[in-house]
Amino acid sequence: RNEEVYLYGAGTMGQFCLTVLRKENIQPAGFLVSENNGESVVECVPVTELQRMERLQERAVIITVYELAAQREIAEELRRRGCRKFICMWEKE
């Protein structure tokens, strides 16, 4: 339902999620990362640092990071920046 979907995390799990979405004919608008290690594109998808993302409240985000503490930290940061449309790819209890 959202025009732009971003994957938070451009590592192994982010790229795995990208592959799954592409098989369903869903093309994410980009990867979001906390800190850019110099990569501007991964698998032909642009990589943007979270702090540089504008209009975050209008976008949907899939948190692809596997570690629970990191998921919580990322979710809190997204909330602080006005993003309410996000899910965690790997939900743990």
State pLDDT tens for residues 14-29: 999 999 999 999 999 9
Runs of H (alpha helix) within 1-93: 12-23, 68-80
Instruction: Please report, as a single letter, which amino acid is at residue 68.
Output: L
pLDDT tier at 89 (50, 70, 90 boundaries)? confident
Nearest to 27 by CA among 36, 35, 38, 17: 17
pTM of the full structure = 0.90
Q: Answer yes or no: is pLDDT of 55 > 60.
A: yes
Mean pLDDT confidence for 64-78: 94
